[in-house]
Structure 1
Amino acid sequence: MDRRDLFGRTTRNRLLLADVLDGLTPAQWEADTLCEGWTVRDLAGHLLQPMLVGFGRFLLVALRHRGDTDATVDAVARRLARREPDELVRLLRSHAGDEVDPPRVGPVGPFADTCIHLRDLARPLGLEADVPREDWVAVLDHLTGPAPTPGLLSGSRLSDVSLRATDAEWRWGDGAEVVGTLEALTLGVTGRAVVLDELTGPGVDALRR
């Protein structure tokens, strides 16, 4: 996928996220997501980070957290999430077309975030909103490639498994097989335990561990 296509998909997904968020009730904004410790509101703040927080500002926050990237991302997301929900939606829409290329992450990082985090908030709320299958294929190709985005895939989670999609002609690897939809495979390999019961095959136990 070339950069122009990548930016275009990211813009479309941000607008979809803004539409989903715009339709939520106050209680839904405070509901938990699949991102441990984050509400929908916190996650909305995180989605704005690439557009509103430059590398210099992020680095300053990181220094306050002694280089702990997870703590830094959490702190930035929570600060951005202090805005009112309608302001968060407005900002997500107005910055949907921003073409950001974060250091170490590149444009594929924000793109993958739009796919994964849409389902992180939609699944617990029982919402069907989803990105196209082609987006999930692109994310899985990235995750199983030589240099997946730091933070999306930890350690050697894929070292002993292979993956096969049930809703597309997509497969990867030669280890113990894990079978499921593109979305469930992506969420499973990025640590969302809630989808493990939707996956089948001898490799599921390896993911569970």
Structure 2
Amino acid sequence: MPNPLNGAQFVLAAHRISQLPADRGAEVAFAGRSNAGKSSALNALTGHKGLARTSKTPGRTQQMVAFSLPPLAQGDGNAPLDARLIDLPGYGYAKVPEELRAHWKQEIDAYLHQRRSLRGVVLIADIRHPLKEFDRMMLDFCFETNLPCHLLLTKADKLSRNQATQALAAVRREFGEGVQASAQVFSSADGTGVEPAREAVVALLRRPRE
């Protein structure tokens, strides 16, 4: 089956939301702590090994990075979608000044509230650890704003299948009633969950904004 995310291309890196591509079409944002494997997940989903930088130094993504996608077919005679992926700055271990952290908190908050082309969030979290404060904040935000969220529990190759299943069940139990969130196990290293995750991203892109 062809990968609809294949052909993703770097467009720009923005320090402010005003520098992002025009607010039309549809985009999905990727968010997560600096060491959760966000760049590796983006590379695996798009089938482009060098699309998003990976580094042994967490927190290298310190700007909002926009990637264009090939026009996304919608069916039913509708015109193909102008689609994008947005890689939000990694949160957590980045060794950046407090002033810059405050800037990114403000910009990400503004992006999530104001960006009309935003269709959903893919939240990246390490399956080996309980959800962190940032993860819970993002889930709460998505609930409050009626924004769908798909949670990728990364690095599943580090656990046994039984451990991964238990971790996934524990996370799903944390979702409150009415939360438009889904979750799955994922590993960019061995390909676990890559195809379902692609399908989830495409479904978010095709979803009308409420």
Instruction: Report the TM-score when normalising by structure 2.
Output: 0.30
**Higher share of residues assigned helix:** 1
TM-score (norm 1): 0.30
Query: Looking at CA atoms only, which structure, 1 or 2, has the larger radius of gyration?
Result: 1
**Which structure would you say has the larger RCO, counting Cα contacts within 8 Å and 6 or more residues apart?**
2
